[in-house]
Amino acid sequence: MIDINEGRSGALALPGFGLVIAAILFFFISPLVSFVLVPIAICCFLVSTGIELDPASKCYRPYYGLFSLKMGAWNRFVPAQKVKLVLAIEQYGVTNWTRSGNQANSRSVEKTITYNIELETEKGDVELFEFFSYKDALKTMVGIGQILEIETEDQVQEIIENRKTRMFERRRLRRR
């Protein structure tokens, strides 16, 4: 069994905040309900996420874990020829409505970087998982490749190597 635990990712933080607000409101109506909701809300903040890979049955399950208890449904892998680790950068503009000097609105670009695991099948690519940590994504890709006995492709490492080569080439050209 291969267990990739992402840690506390805040996956249930929004329901946790909702339960805290409900506990505050119920404190005035029924304090007993409030005292029941507070521990449940705390548990929502302590939930960790991860993925378990089972080599024997060739299955996986994304799970929510609380302490040693893990909850999630097992799924079978689709038949694939290759597993890929892909870099996904999502950019979006944010307008700050402040006045600074002559500029009334300033626009900034925010980025979200994730590492996606994709299976290359005959019908096309199937996205399985999305990680915020390269280390966890790489461990998952290697585990899936070993379980399914298929080729792995780390496109993120290729991007890193290309950038290093370009930087080295630029430095070499500047020295001339």
The tens digit of pLDDT for each residue in 4-48 reads: 888 887 778 898 999 999 999 888 888 888 899 999 998 888 898
Residue 68 contacts by C-beta under 8 Å, 6 or more apart in sequence?
none
pLDDT at position 74 is 92
Binning the chain into helix, strand and coil, the percentages to the nearest 5 are 40, 40, 20
pLDDT at position 103 is 57
Question: Is the pLDDT at 61 greater than 80, yes or no?
Answer: yes
Give the Cα separation of 7 and 15 in Å (integer): 18
146 burial (CB, 10 Å; 0-12 / 13-18 / 19+) is: middle
pLDDT tens for residues 130-153? Answer: 888 889 999 999 999 998 888 888
Question: Is the pLDDT at 94 greater than 80, yes or no?
Answer: no
Question: Is the pLDDT at 117 greater than 70, yes or no?
Answer: yes
| pTM, rounded to two decimals | 0.71
pLDDT at position 97 is 61
The more confident residue out of 124 and 16 is 16
Ranges of each domain in the chain: 1-76, 78-176
- Nearest Cα neighbor of 148 from 85, 76, 87 is 76
